Structures are given as C-alpha cells and as structure tokens.
Amino acid sequence: MHLNSKVPEGSLEKKWQNYQLKSQLINPANKKKLSVIVVGSGLSGAGAAATLAELGYDIKCFCYQDSARRAHSVAAQGGINAAKNYQHDGDSVYRMFYDTLKGGDFRSREANTYRLAELSAPLIDHFVQQGVPFAREYGGTLVNRSFGGVQVQRTFYARGQTGQQLLLASYSQLYKMIHAKKVQMFPRSEMVDLVVINGKAKGIIVRNLVSGKLERYAADAVVLATGGYSRVFRLSTLAIGCNGSALWKAHKKGAYFAAPSFTQIHPTALPQSSEAQSKLTLMSESLRNDGRIWVPKQKEDSRKPKDISEEERDYYLERRYPSFGNLAPRDIASRAAKERIDAGFGVGRLKNAVYLDFKHAIEKFGLETIKDRYGNLFNMYKKITGIDAYTTPMLISPAAHFSMGGLWVDYELMTTIPGLYAVGECNFSDHGANRLGANSLLQASVDGYFILPNTINNYLADEIKADHPTTDHPEFDKAEKEAQAHIDKILSINGTKTVDHFHRELGKIMWQDCAMSRTKKGLEKAIKQIEALKDDFWKDVKVTGNQNEMNTELEKAYRLADFIELGILMCTDALQRDESCGAHFREEFQTSEGEALRVDETYSYVSAWEYNEGDFTLHKEHLEFEFVKPTVRSYK
C-alpha cells in the first residue's frame, strides 16, 4: 500500500489554509445525523469530543478511568509552547516550526510540524477564554519561560500544573456538551477491539470495567485519543493504567504503526529506589530553567553534596553543550546522564542518579521567587522522598516518558483504516525522533480542538448517504467473540506467575536493550527474550477472579498481553534503523564525540509497520524536505 500523506499544495504558510478551502463541508442538519466515537478523554480526546459536539455531531466518549478528569494529560507539569512572541525575543511561527523539526532530528513531516506551530497561538487564546489561570505579570499580561532545545521564551504555564489546568478546561468543556446532550460519556469503559466493516472503522467493543460485560458501540467514524504506550517499560512517568491496547487492536485490524521505537526518555524523573517500585515520578523539565545538573568529578564519591566544593563538581551539560547548557533537549540530556552514571559518577543510594541543584538560583533570585516558580514541584519532591530540595539538591534520573511513535496518520490525522483517526500522543506525526518540552500538551490540544474538527468532515461528508452501522452487523459479532475468547483464554491458564512478574520482566528487557542506547546485538537478543516471555505468559500467567465483575488483575493482564507484542515491534523497528536520530541512539552509529550520527540518504523516512499474522511488514513514507535543509543537530 502506498502511503499517501495528503500534504496539500502551496507554501508552508498556505498549506493549512489551502486544505481547509478544498475540504468538504457538511451542513448543520446533516451533522446531527452523523455519530463519532472518541476513545480517551485527555486533552486530545476531550478537546475533540467537545468541539465535534459543538459542531453538531453526535458523540460518544469513552475512558477507562472513573472520570474524564483523570486522563494522564493531567500530569504534564511544565507548560505549553506557543509562538506568540510576547517576550519580544525574536520568536515566530517559522522559528517554532524549525525548533520542533530540528528537535525531532528531521524525522517528522514538515507540513504537520509547521501546522503545529501555526495553530499554537490561537490555542492559548482558546484556553485563556476557557478559564485557564496561566501565570501573569503584575500588569496582567501572560508570562513565559524557556524549555529545552530552544533559545526563546515561548512556554506558557500555570504553576507546575499546566497539564492539569488545561485538562480541567477541556473536561469542563466536555461536560458542558454532555449537559447539552450532545456527548454521551462512558467512564470506566475500555476499548478491547475495533470493528471494521467493508474496510472502514465503524465501531468498537468495550469492556465495562464495573460489570465486566462486553458492550458494542457503532458510529460513522472512530477517533483514538489513547495517549502514549511507555508503560511497555513498566517503570515510566506514565499513569499505571496507561496502555497501548487500543492502538494495538487497531494495528491488528490494519492500521499501520509508525516509528514505534521512538520513545523519549525524560532526563529529570526521580530515580528508582526498589524492585517493588511501580512508577517513576517526573520532575518538570522547567526546573532546568533554574536548576543546574551536576555529578562529582571523583568516581563513586559518597560525600554529601554540600561537602563537595564547586571545583570538585562536573556540570556536565554546561561543559558539553555550552550554548544550551542545562536546557539541552531531552534525548541529549538523558544520554549525557546515562553516560555519567554508567561511567561510575552516579549519586544517591543506588548510584543511579545525578544532582539537580538550586543553590545558585536561590542565591541569585531569592527563596521566594524559586518558591513561586516551582513551589508545588518542591513540595511534591518532599512528599515522595522526604527531602527538602531547597537545602539539598534533588536526585534525578532518566525515565521512559513519551511515545513519539504511534499509529501512522496522514495530514488529516486519519490512519490507514478509513474512518479511523488518531489524535494526540497516540499518533505519529509532529515530533519526529524526539519531542521538545511543552510541545506535548500543544500537540494533543491542537489535534483535538483545531485539526480533527476541520478534517473529519472531509471523510464524513461521504458517509451521510452511506448505511449508518448498527451493532447487529456480523462484524460486531465476530469482534465481540474474539474479545471474549481472548479474555477466556487468559482466565483459563491458571499458571504460577503474576501479571506484574511478567511486566517487570518485559520492562527489564525493554529498558536494557530498547531505551536510551541500542545495539543490533542487544535488539536481536531482546526480541528472542520477549518471544520467550510471550510463550511463558500464555502458559503460566495466573489471574484470579472472573470476567463479570470489577477485576483489576484481569485488566492488567490483557493490557500486558498487548504490551508484550508491542515490545517485539518496537525492537524490530529499532533494529531496522541503522542510524542514530533523536531518541533513537544506536551505539554503532555515533560521532567521535559520542553524538548521534544520522544517515539521511538511507533513513529519511517514517517507518510504518503493517501487521501480518504475528509478523510485521515495513512500509516507508519518505520525508521530503521542501523548505528546510536537514542539518546536523548541534546544541554545542
């Protein structure tokens, strides 16, 4: 199948406008007759559901949590980027586009990335109007700060809770439309399969997490807004319930999976402290605005940080990347931390961390200013570790974070299955091989609020006259039976090992061989190990309880079954890419200074994988750089 990105004609600045001019419109009376399913209620899902409902479509929105307000967008701390140039520091849509494209190491589509930057400014207007209490100057205008990989201040924030405030705004807007009876909300409901009728996405099978029953829902189009899949590493910054199952089911039904191995490892999470740990808490990248990262110059130095003098400290990011310093992009900062830790300079009880120190910032700006900027993050740090970071440097460590990869989508955010869309983190489109800080909330929101509501009409216009699907179609029977058989099989194994045991094992393999640093040998070994783990899972997993009840253990089990298969695809993808780019660092491909070595002649494409009965076929979308010449990404 030829991958048609459907990028419109014209200059970068005109493409989105040209697209909208040519796309089909639907009159309000007909919109009422069309229904759309939205899976996920985070920023992209809630934004899409609310906006599509405002436009007049009939919406059903699903989430696995007890309320739409819990979606993991809530946890993004630092901020959201927008090319407003309020700080008068030379910012522009073009510069933001360029920073994002370069930050992604030239592995994303120019037109999509430009549109992301273009729509960023109206998005801030939107959220202000919805009541988001962004940080303000005394005079009442909006404040900005810097984030990694850029040299301007374009990040808007609401203390260290920006994601929460944006999500609550979209949650409010969603509930406004629920009140207007234009959206039906289904919390505690998890999609377990996609229903495809005559090649088009027409519905989903859902497991009601309270009753355990399988339910059918039909619509004229299905939108996946299910977030990232970094829980494949088990230990990650994601919520425990985050999973890749909706994506994986869609993939198995024909949606191509793009660049699955592009995973961002975030440099500033709290280090792992024990085997029992379930999650690694993120400390916002915004802390790198004022905090300085260092390790002792002496190996295995076990003195307290305050006893190590300035001359004995290695501010390694400032040393290696003088022009960006502590604000080097995430992939680079993570690898640099790993390099120091692996070389024996790590600190903390398990020697698996580096220091993030605010001593100088407090001396320079005063304690009150630092409290105002990061108070809630310091409080959070204290609650978790019991340590006061105003007086002792924080201990931080890299952790699996964001999935740049996801379902392949075209310019309209449609997957390779007609009528199936993917928005937000679950698609692959704008971030390339590495995402810049504060671009995640942006992409999720722009996809949901502005892009999808202006592209889905182009598909739905042709569906007005088509048969509207009903849940008694044989394809619904088939999909429900398959989902039922899958669950029955898991419950019937009655083995000797827990789901968490298998997840820990999968996490170890993935972290060892498919995270910050990858090798051909390691990836080949990892694939074999995961295949063995898969066999063992299906022979020896033990899940108690039954299907027709709230059963959290069963939920974990079927999510993990998909993660295991996804893990194999991630390693397969990392293996085929004989180059280093962004977060994908293959040890065989590096410069003499240890930086990523891109191979543009061969690998300037998006890998898009087709599922074939347990095997994967690679398709390539070649990236054409019409407006920007890819350069060696340097932050020195």
Residues annotated catalytic, as ranges: 330
Tell me the two tokens of residue 143. Answer: 């404040």
Residue 158 in contact with another protein, rule: CB under 8 A: yes
Start-to-end Cα distance in the chain: 41
Rule CB under 8 A: choose which of 88, 90, 276, 472 binds another protein: 276
Distance CA 260, CA 428 (A): 9
What lies within 8 Å, CB to CB, of 407 at 6+ separation is 224, 247, 250, 251, 255, 256, 257, 258, 415, 422, 426, 427, 428
Q: What is the residue type of 44? A: S
Residue 451 in contact with another protein, rule: CB under 8 A: no
Q: How far is the CB of 125 from another protein (least distance, A)?
A: 4
Q: In DSSP terms, which residues pair with 408 in a beta bridge? A: 428
Distance CA 173, CA 600 (A): 44
Query: Please, are residues 502 and 537 in contact by the beta-carbon 8 Å criterion?
Result: yes
Q: How far is the CB of 560 from another protein (least distance, A)?
A: 13
Q: What is the x/- site pattern for another protein, positions 361-380, by CB under 8 A? A: ---------------x---x
Q: How far is the CB of 433 from another protein (least distance, A)?
A: 27
Measured in whole angstroms, the distance separating CA 32 from the mean position of its chain's CA atoms is 32
Residue 75 in contact with another protein, rule: CB under 8 A: yes
Q: Which residue, 131 or 344, is less far from another protein as judged by CB?
A: 131
Residue 508 in contact with another protein, rule: CB under 8 A: no
Residue 264 in contact with another protein, rule: CB under 8 A: no
Rule CB under 8 A: choose which of 198, 277, 369, 634 binds another protein: 277
CA torsion through residues 52, 57, 62, 66, sign: positive
The interface region with another protein, picked from 8-16, 339-347, 491-499, 519-527 by CB under 8 A, is 491-499
The interface region with another protein, picked from 194-202, 415-423, 445-453, 609-617 by CB under 8 A, is 445-453
Q: How far is the CB of 77 from another protein (least distance, A)?
A: 8
Please list every residue from 104 through 123 that binds another protein, using CB under 8 A: 122
Q: What angle do CA 529, 535, 536 make, to 5 degrees?
A: 85
Rule CB under 8 A: choose which of 2, 274, 592, 622 binds another protein: 274
Residue 23 in contact with another protein, rule: CB under 8 A: no
Distances (CA, A) of 236 to 277, 469, 498, 530: 10, 39, 20, 19
Rule CB under 8 A: choose which of 19, 134, 589, 611 binds another protein: 134
**What is the DSSP secondary structure assignment for residue 244, as one 8-state letter?**
S
Distance CA 260, CA 577 (A): 11
The interface region with another protein, picked from 21-29, 97-105, 277-285, 566-574 by CB under 8 A, is 277-285
The interface region with another protein, picked from 16-24, 337-345, 478-486, 540-548 by CB under 8 A, is 540-548
Rule CB under 8 A: choose which of 5, 41, 155, 165 binds another protein: 165
Q: How far is the CB of 225 from another protein (least distance, A)?
A: 15
Alpha helices in 211-307 (DSSP H): 245-252
Which backbone phi and psi does 255 adopt, to 5 degrees? -80, 130
Which residue, 207, 249, 237, 236, is CA-closest to 64? 207
Please list every residue from 544 through 563 that binds another protein, using CB under 8 A: 544-545, 549-553
The interface region with another protein, picked from 165-173, 422-430, 483-491, 512-520 by CB under 8 A, is 165-173
Q: How far is the CB of 395 from another protein (least distance, A)?
A: 12
Which backbone phi and psi does 467 adopt, to 5 degrees? -70, 130
The SS3 assignment for 474 reads helix
